Amino acid sequence: MPLLLHKLNLTHFRGYDALRLDFAGAQIVVLTGLNGAGKTNILEAISLLAPGKGLRGADLLDMKNRLASAEDLWAVAAEVETASGLPMRIGTGLDREFKRRLIRINGRDARSQNELASIISAVWLTPQMDRLFLDGASGRRKFFDRLAFAFDEEHAARLNRYDKSLRERLKVLQGEMGVDPVWLSNLEAQLAADAVCIAATRRQLLEQMARYVEKLYAGKTLFPAPEISVSGWAESETGLRAAVDIEEDLRARFRDSRRADMLAGKSHEGVHRSDFLVTHRDRGMPAAQCSTGEQKGLLVSIVLAHALMMQGEQGFTPILLLDEVAAHLDDARRDELFRYLLSLNGQIFLTGTDPEIFAALRPAAMFCAVEPGRVGIANKGSTRQQAMP
């Protein structure tokens, strides 16, 4: 069964004061409107239903509607049907102290965002990600780790714990908490244990995705085939040696780098320094040296291969949030992308300024006209997917 977002309610969120949307089971939802109308804001709201900082990685305070009064808080609430057919009510918003994101699941407060991972997963492509292959490794790690969230529910929790331990270790090293060797060793043991699992999940994700890249390219496709690898000490050791041995070596590496880390104010060892390398397979060209359209094509290929993998291995696809994804694609590639999207058994949200470029998605898709502060439903779409032509 597909994972479906049925209803979405936004309160004091970005440009919306109160918005109620009912997607009525539609699997493809097209949001169109002028620049600044509020399309990306809706995708951002949906992205906040999954663990993490959302598709803009924005500050929680920036999400509150600027016109709302001082005591108002923003909230995003949704009715979701999980891949196993369970109806769930989930909500998120800023807490009264304006410090952290609260999560509610079926009317009760969740302990952490990580509880969302077993209910919903979302993957997105945004115009900002057009620079994914050009900018630093952190964006690529975030992108591929998010693909892994869908695949391994524990991955998000482990990464959060890992980052927290890493910060705490630096504080201890820099004497803020007084150097306590036992505490340091415990932190490093936790870091090493999490790092081994994080590295293994990343390797497993890439190995499985590679099989689906082959499937995707078994038929002829206009999108470039990506070859993806991950560089990092723990990732390269994974599979070569027993996990316990890698863990022990990692602990030693953390221990041996204490002094250098203290002096530099950063951690030199660990999976937070790994990078994902993408190559245009047929041209043997690193993604960073490909054209803008080719880079976009590689991103689309990765997201499609991941969706196919999820469908094949776990029986559902994450919710796809494709912001302005058609913009850099020529007509043939756009048509091909839409054919793939129609063949997926999952929910997909697309945005663009011109409804005409999405014509190939009619009548299956629900079309929504976004205007500042409000959204009109132009065409309800159908809940059934068309078979791939």
Ligand X SMILES: Nc1ncnc2c1ncn2[C@@H]1O[C@H](COP(=O)(O)OP(=O)(O)OP(=O)(O)O)[C@@H](O)[C@H]1O
Residues within the interface to Mg ion (CB under 5 A): 39-40
Q: Rg of the chain over CA atoms, in angstroms?
A: 22
What is the Cα–Cα distance from 60 to 181, expressed in whole angstroms? 36
Among 41, 113, 121, 347, which residue sits at the site for ligand X (rule: CB under 6 A)?
Answer: 41
What is the Cα–Cα distance from 266 to 163, expressed in whole angstroms? 12
> Please, what is the minimum distance in Å from the beta carbon of residue 11 to ligand X?
13
Strands 101-105 and 28-32: unpaired
Contacts for 152 with CB less than 8 Å, ≥ 6 apart: 201, 204, 205
| Binding-site string for ligand X from residue 346 to residue 385, where x marks contact by CB under 6 A and - marks none | -------x----------------x---------------
Task: Please say whether the beta carbons of 2 and 335 come within 8 A.
Answer: no
38 binds ligand X (CB under 6 A): yes
Give the end-to-end CA distance of the chain in Å, rounded to a whole number: 21
Question: What is the layout of strands, in order, in the sheet containing 16-22?
Answer: 16-22, 4-13, 75-81, 87-94, 101-105, 108-109
For ligand X, the closer of residues 337 and 370 by Cβ is: 370
Question: Which of ligand X, Mg ion, none does 36 bind, CB closer than 5 to 8 A by kind?
Answer: ligand X
Question: Which of Mg ion, ligand X, none does 35 bind, CB closer than 5 to 8 A by kind?
Answer: ligand X
9 binds ligand X (CB under 6 A): no
Among 3, 28, 39, 224, which residue sits at the site for ligand X (rule: CB under 6 A)?
Answer: 39
> Please, what is the minimum distance in Å from the beta carbon of residue 40 to Mg ion?
3
Question: Which of Mg ion, ligand X, none does 230 bind, CB closer than 5 to 8 A by kind?
Answer: none
For Mg ion, the closer of residues 25 and 373 by Cβ is: 373
Q: 61: number of CA atoms within 13 Å, CB side?
A: 6
What is the Cα–Cα distance from 18 to 4, expressed in whole angstroms? 22
36 binds ligand X (CB under 6 A): yes
CA distances to 3, 145, 191, 365 from 276, rounded to whole Å, are: 28, 10, 21, 34
Q: Supply 57's token pair.
A: 């990685």
Question: Which of ligand X, Mg ion, none does 121 bind, CB closer than 5 to 8 A by kind?
Answer: none
Q: Supply 305's token pair.
A: 């291969």
What is the Cα–Cα distance from 376 to 101, expressed in whole angstroms? 29
| Binding-site string for ligand X from residue 54 to residue 83, where x marks contact by CB under 6 A and - marks none | --------x-xxx-----------------
Task: Please say whether the beta carbons of 116 and 104 come within 8 A.
Answer: no
Among 27, 40, 121, 126, which residue sits at the site for ligand X (rule: CB under 6 A)?
Answer: 40
For ligand X, the closer of residues 180 and 371 by Cβ is: 371
Q: Supply 381's token pair.
A: 């779409």
For Mg ion, the closer of residues 27 and 40 by Cβ is: 40
State the number of binding residues for ligand X (CB under 6 A).
16
> Please, what is the minimum distance in Å from the beta carbon of residue 58 to ligand X?
8
15 binds ligand X (CB under 6 A): yes
For ligand X, the closer of residues 286 and 372 by Cβ is: 372
303 binds ligand X (CB under 6 A): no
Segment near ligand X (CB under 6 A); pick from 21-29, 36-44, 136-144, 154-162: 36-44
Q: What phi and psi values does residue 17 have, to the nearest 5 degrees?
A: -85, -55
> Please, what is the minimum distance in Å from the beta carbon of residue 321 to Mg ion?
11
For ligand X, the closer of residues 60 and 307 by Cβ is: 60
Question: Which of ligand X, Mg ion, none does 14 bind, CB closer than 5 to 8 A by kind?
Answer: ligand X
**Residues 233, 53, 187, 244: is their CA dihedral positive or negative?**
negative
Chain residues that interact with ligand X, rule: CB under 6 A: 14-15, 33, 35-41, 62, 64-66, 353, 370
